[in-house]
């Protein structure tokens, strides 16, 4: 079959067949042959709509409409041939899927995990909300809620870009987060010790709270030392 250069855009039925092919474990090449499309069309379609593990026909169709309504100049996923580092998009997205799963298993909400992973694996380390909507194939409301979660915890910072916000992840994100955790541990230590004194050092509850305070005291000291070690040995070289 000869593939035309200016092939028509993917329809909803095409996207349903792509989703069915992915669910059946078919490769991009197999799906492309079935649809009579270039393999690069399928790989880009899946990459910009959640990746192999999260591709959904209805979400991809909706995201395509959102992209069509956006203003020109918004970042788009580059075709494979345009990647200056020659990275394999399938391997990259497989890694992103595993990375997302690890985050979810550790308690991070799914949409938050997907956004955080994309920020980590983006060379720019930043996206606007509109770019995240198009990239992940989720609603603007879902992106807004997820980035709010990340900003509130200091994992992502918000930068104003014209009329829009850009969400940025820093190379030293974990140092900042670790420092925030140290402050939380210190708060737990102080509160537990206050409770121990209030309930009586010799009572079962007082002993339990005093032991808790000691635990957080030790944890705080160890965390402070670890953060300082990172700053001196590793963080300093990245400035």
* Structure tokens given for 50: 């959640």
Average pLDDT over residues 65-87: 49
Distance CA 69, CA 71 (A): 7
Pairing of strands 157-161, 126-128: unpaired
199 CA to centre of own chain: 44
114 close to 99: Cβ distance less than 8 angstroms: no
12-28 per-position pLDDT tens digit: 888 889 988 998 888 99
Residues 6+ apart with CB under 8 A from 170: 125, 157, 176
Top-confidence range, 156-160, 208-212, 231-235: 208-212
- 213 — pLDDT class (breaks 50, 70, 90): very high
Average pLDDT over the chain reads 80
pLDDT at 207 over 90: yes
């Amino acid at each position: 079959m000869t593939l035309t250069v200016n092939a028509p855009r993917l329809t909803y039925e095409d996207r349903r067949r792509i989703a069915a092919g992915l669910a059946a474990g078919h490769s991009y090449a197999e799906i492309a042959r079935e649809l009579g499309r270039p393999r690069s069309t399928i790989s880009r379609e899946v990459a910009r709509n959640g990746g192999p593990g999260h591709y959904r026909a209805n979400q991809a169709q909706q995201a395509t409409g959102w992209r069509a309504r956006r203003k020109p100049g918004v970042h788009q996923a580059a075709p494979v041939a345009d990647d200056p580092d020659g990275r394999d998009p399938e391997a990259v997205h497989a890694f992103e899927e595993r990375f997302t799963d690890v985050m979810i298993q550790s308690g991070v909400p799914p949409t938050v995990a997907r956004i955080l992973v994309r920020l980590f694996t983006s060379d720019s380390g930043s996206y606007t909300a509109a770019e995240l909507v198009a990239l992940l194939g989720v609603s603007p409301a879902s992106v807004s809620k997820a980035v709010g979660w990340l900003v509130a915890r200091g994992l992502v910072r918000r930068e104003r870009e014209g009329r829009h916000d850009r969400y940025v992840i820093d190379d030293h994100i974990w140092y900042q987060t670790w420092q925030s955790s140290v402050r939380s541990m210190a708060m737990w230590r102080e509160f537990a010790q206050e409770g121990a004194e209030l309930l009586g050092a010799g009572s079962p509850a007082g002993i339990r709270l005093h032991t808790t305070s000691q635990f957080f005291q030790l944890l705080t000291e160890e965390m402070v030392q670890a953060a300082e070690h990172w700053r001196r040995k590793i963080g300093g070289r990245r400035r």
